[in-house]
């Protein structure tokens, strides 16, 4: 189901962009829309989109059992606001606070014989606070490519950080605060009444997020050196 949804999203996005570009955006002499849109000191907008979160595990080499933990990914959604400060014709500083929801399943095959009992659900609701630098090319008619990158921090409302239960009890625990770096690219399309910007962005955690079991006889987390989130965002921005 998730793979089919991803295919549908990509096809829809591609057909939309292709149709828009063929009809108006790439004409030799297009009618210029929103000619003064990028000349304001401050711009505001909002975004909607999809996400897919994953985990990157690093293991301790001296532990005997380094069986990889399996991550079953799914599609989640993003929604948020945009505040943009114009620096010059090619640079903008952006603040994009947003709500990101996703669910992952982890399978610990090396820790327990029963495959059903080895699965832990990870439901995450992130409040994300990215500070980003947007670098754009010169506007070409009614479109303008850009790259974007920066740093962010998030609050994971589903982290279970303060729970006394451990993974062996059925509760997966993560740290509530995480720091990331983000980088991506997209295109600004200047339509008749608003600016529409599809983009793709990768997100990579800088810090270890796992809270380990403390029971002396646990085997769930003792071979994990670090666990860091990585994700892919597909956002549709309206300004």
* Domain extents in the chain: 33-238
pTM for this entry:
0.79
Tens-digit pLDDT profile for residues 202-220 = 999 999 998 888 776 667 7
d(CA 222, CA 108): 12
Tokens 């625990």 belong to residue? 173
Q: Under CATH, to which class is 33-238 assigned? A: mainly beta
Quick one: pLDDT at residue 21? Answer: 45
* Interval 28-44: pLDDT, tens: 567 888 888 888 999 99
C-alpha of 83 from chain center: 18
Question: CA-CA distances (angstroms) from residue 71 to 19, 83, 121, 142, 200?
Answer: 37, 34, 10, 41, 22
Phi (first) and psi of residue 130, to 5 degrees? -95, 140
Q: What is the pLDDT of residues 167-203, one digit of tens each?
A: 877 788 889 999 999 999 999 999 989 999 999 999 9
- pLDDT value at residue 92: 96
């Amino acid at each position: 189901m998730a793979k089919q949804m991803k295919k549908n999203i990509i096809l829809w996005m591609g057909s939309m962009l292709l149709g828009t570009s063929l009809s108006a955006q790439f004409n030799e002499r297009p009618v210029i829309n929103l000619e003064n849109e990028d000349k304001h000191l401050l711009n505001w907008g909002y975004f909607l989109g999809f996400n897919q979160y994953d985990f990157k595990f690093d293991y301790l080499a001296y532990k005997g059992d380094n069986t990889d933990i399996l991550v079953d990914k799914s599609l989640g959604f993003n929604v948020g606001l945009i505040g943009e400060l114009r620096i010059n014709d090619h640079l903008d500083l952006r603040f994009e606070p947003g709500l990101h929801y996703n669910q992952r399943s982890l399978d610990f095959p090396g820790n327990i014989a029963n495959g059903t009992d080895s699965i832990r659900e990870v439901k995450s609701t992130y409040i994300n606070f990215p500070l980003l630098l947007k670098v754009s090319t010169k506007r070409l008619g009614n479109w303008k490519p850009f790259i974007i990158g920066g740093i962010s921090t998030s609050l994971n409302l589903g982290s279970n950080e303060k729970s006394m239960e451990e993974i062996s009890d059925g509760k997966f625990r993560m740290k509530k605060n995480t720091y990331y770096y983000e980088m991506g690219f997209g295109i600004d399309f200047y339509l008749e009444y608003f600016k529409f910007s599809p983009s793709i962005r990768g997100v990579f955690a800088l810090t270890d997020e796992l809270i380990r079991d403390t029971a002396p006889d646990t085997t769930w987390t003792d071979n994990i050196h670090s666990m860091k989130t990585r994700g892919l965002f597909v956002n549709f921005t309206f300004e």
